[in-house]
Amino acid sequence: MEIDTKKLEEIIGKYGKCKSTVIPILQDIQEEYNWLPEEVFEIVAQELGIPLMDVYGVATFYRTFSLKPRGKHIITVCLGTACHVRGGQRITETISRELGINPGETTEDLKFTLETVNCLGCCAIGPIVVVDGEYYGGMTSQKVASLLKKTRGGKRE
C-alpha cells in the first residue's frame, strides 16, 4: 500500500517524538486511512526512535485499532437482544447481500466495512444501524437498503 510519508511526518510532528505519543499518533493515522497499514509501524518506530515491537504492541493491544483494511464507510448493526428480536439479523443479512460481504469484512473497493455489535445502549429505538458514527433507529431491511444507496451515492443526510 502506498503511504503518504509527508502526511505521516506531519502527524508525528504534531505530537512530538517520544514513546508516550504512540497512541495519539496511531489514532490520527487510523483516522487518515480508516485502518493501520503495516507499513506505518516502521515509519512511526523510526521517527520516534523506539523499537518496532513497541509500536506493534500498542496497535494490537487496543481494540480500537484495526490492522485489517476497513472501508471508507463503517456500517455497524446492533445484534443485542432487543435489536435482534426486532429484526437485527434480517437487516444484517440484507446489508451482507447488498454489499456482498459478511460481518467483519470489507468490500474489495474499500468503500464499506460491515460490523456487528452487542447493544449500543439505546435499545428503545432499535433495531439500530450506525453508519459512520450516525445512529439510525427503527431500521428495517427496506430502510437500510435505501440508506446504503444514499451512502454509496454520497447523498446521506
> Site residues (CB under 6 A) for ligand FES?
78, 80-83, 119-123, 126, 128
- Beginning with the edge strand found earlier in the chain, give each strand of the sheet holding 134-136 in spatial order: 112-117, 73-78, 129-131, 134-136
Q: Which is nearer to ligand FES, 82 or 110 (CB)?
A: 82
Measured between alpha carbons, how far is 92 from 31 in angstroms, rounded to an integer? Answer: 25
Nearer to ligand FES, 30 or 76 (CB): 76
Q: Which is nearer to ligand FES, 18 or 122 (CB)?
A: 122
82 or 145: CB nearest ligand FES: 82
Task: Please identify the residue of the shown chain whose CB is closest to the bound ligand FES.
Answer: 80
CA atoms within 13 A on the CB side of 92: 22
Shortest distance, position 95 Cβ to ligand FES, whole Å = 15
- How many whole angstroms separate alpha carbon 94 and alpha carbon 139? 12
C-alpha to C-alpha distance for 129 and 113, rounded to whole angstroms: 13
| 131 close to 146: Cβ distance less than 8 angstroms | no
Minimum CB separation of residue 43 from ligand FES in Å reads 39
**Measured between alpha carbons, how far is 93 from 33 in angstroms, rounded to an integer?**
27
Residue 39 CB, nearest approach to ligand FES (Å)? 37
Q: Minimum distance between the CB of residue 145 and ligand FES, rounded to whole angstroms?
A: 20
Query: At closest approach, how far in Å is the CB of 90 from ligand FES?
Result: 14
Burial class (CB in 10 A: 0-12, 13-18, 19+), 74: middle
Closer Cβ to ligand FES, 121 or 154, answer by number: 121
